[in-house]
Chains A and B, each alone.
Chain A
Amino acid sequence: METPSVAYFDCLYILSALGSGSGGTSHSELHDLGYLACLLSMLDDKPAADWGYSFSATRASAPFGRALTDAMETLLSRGAISSDARFLLVTPQGEADLERWARLSANARRLPYLRGAAASALSLTFPAFSSGLHEEPQLRASGSSGGVPRVLNEGPAVNLLHHHFEQLTRGLGERRSPVVAGTVWMTYLTATAVSGDD
Chain B
Amino acid sequence: MAETSSATSFERIALPRVAYVRLQDFTLFSADRIVEADVPGGVFCLAGANGLGKSTFLTAVNYAMTGIVPRPTLKFDSPAEYLKKNLSYADDYFTGRISEADRETCEICVAMEIGGAMLTLTRSPFEVESLRDLSIERGGSIESFGDEDGETRERLFREALVAESGLVSFDQFVFLQLLVLTFDERRHLLSWDSKVVEQALYLLFGDDREQAENAAKARRLYEQQDSLARNTQYQVTRLRSQLEDLRRVVEENSPDDDVDLVAQFQGHEAVRDEVDERVKRSEELLSDEQLRLNDDVAAQVELRSEYEATFANIMKGTHDISKHPIVRAAMDDRRCEICGSTNTESVASISHSVSESACPLCGAQLSAVDAAAEAKTYERLEQIDAQLEALNESASSHADAIRRYKDELESATSDLDLAEQALSDFMVAHEGHVLSLTAEDGIGRIAQHLESAIQKGLEQKEVHKKKRDAAKKHWAEAQRDVAASYTAAEDDFIPLFQDLAESFLGLDLSIALEERKPAGLQFVVSVGSSTRRSANDVSESQRYFIDIALRMALCQYVVRPDSPGTLLIDTPEGSLDIAYEVRAGDMLGRFGTGGRNILITANINTSQLLLEVARTCGDDRMRLVRMTEWTELSDVQRASEDLFDSAYGAIEQALGSR
Which residues of A come within 8 Å of B, CB atoms? Answer: 2-5, 8, 74, 76-80, 82-83, 91, 93, 100, 103-106
Contact = CB atoms under 8 A, between A and B. Distances in A.
Contacts of B323: 78-80, 91, 93
Nearest to B325: A82
A105 B382 CA distance: 9
Given A78-B319, A83-B325, A104 B382 contact: yes
B308 interface: yes
Nearest to A76: B325
Closest CB pairs A-B (n = 4): A79-B323, A5-B311, A105-B389, A104-B385
A8 B325 contact: no
A85 B320 CA distance: 22
Contact of A8 (B311, B319, B378): B311
A4 B309 CA distance: 9
Interface string B273-313: 00000000000000000000000000000000001110110
Contact of B315 (A8, A82, A106): A8
B388 interface: yes
Contacts, number: 47
Contacts of A3: 312, 315
A159 to B, nearest CB: 26
Contacts of A100: 378
B388 A106 contact: yes
B243 interface: no
A106 B307 contact: yes
A188 to B, nearest CB: 32
B392 interface: yes
B49 interface: no
B324 interface: yes
A132 to B, nearest CB: 32
Contacts of B261: none
B50 interface: no
Given A8-B315, A80-B323, A106-B307, 11 more contacts: A3-B315, A5-B307, A77-B324, A78-B319, A79-B322, A79-B328, A82-B325, A93-B323, A104-B385, A105-B389, A106-B388
13 contacts: A8-B315, A76-B325, A78-B320, A78-B323, A79-B320, A79-B323, A79-B325, A82-B325, A103-B382, A104-B381, A104-B385, A105-B386, A106-B385
B392 A105 contact: yes
B371 to A, nearest CB: 13
B190 to A, nearest CB: 107
Interface residues of B, number: 22
B309 A78 contact: no
Contacts of A105: 385-386, 388-389, 392
Contacts of A104: 381-382, 385
A5 B167 CA distance: 118
A78 B311 CA distance: 13
Contacts of B307: 5, 106
A103 B324 CA distance: 26
Contacts of B526: none
B448 interface: no
B264 interface: no
Contacts of B386: 105
Contacts of A8: 311, 315
A103 B230 CA distance: 98
A7 to B, nearest CB: 10
A1 to B, nearest CB: 10
B318 interface: yes
Nearest to A80: B323
A91 B318 CA distance: 16
Nearest to A107: B385
B396 to A, nearest CB: 11
A18 to B, nearest CB: 18
A98 to B, nearest CB: 14
A2 B309 contact: yes
Interface string B346-386: 00000000000000000000000000000000100110011
A93 B328 CA distance: 13
Nearest to A2: B312
Contacts of A103: 382
A21 B311 CA distance: 30
Contacts of B388: 105-106
Interface in B453-508: none
Contacts of B311: 5, 8
Nearest to A108: B389
Contact of A4 (B308, B318, B381, B389): B308
A78 B321 CA distance: 8
A80 to B, nearest CB: 8
A8 B381 CA distance: 15
B482 to A, nearest CB: 105
A93 B322 CA distance: 12
A66 to B, nearest CB: 16
A51 to B, nearest CB: 14
A2 B304 CA distance: 13
B136 to A, nearest CB: 111
B250 to A, nearest CB: 62
Contacts of B308: 2, 4-5
B378 A82 contact: no
Contacts of B385: 104-106
A6 to B, nearest CB: 9
Contacts of B315: 3, 8, 74, 78
Nearest to B392: A105
A105 B389 CA distance: 6
A5 B312 CA distance: 7
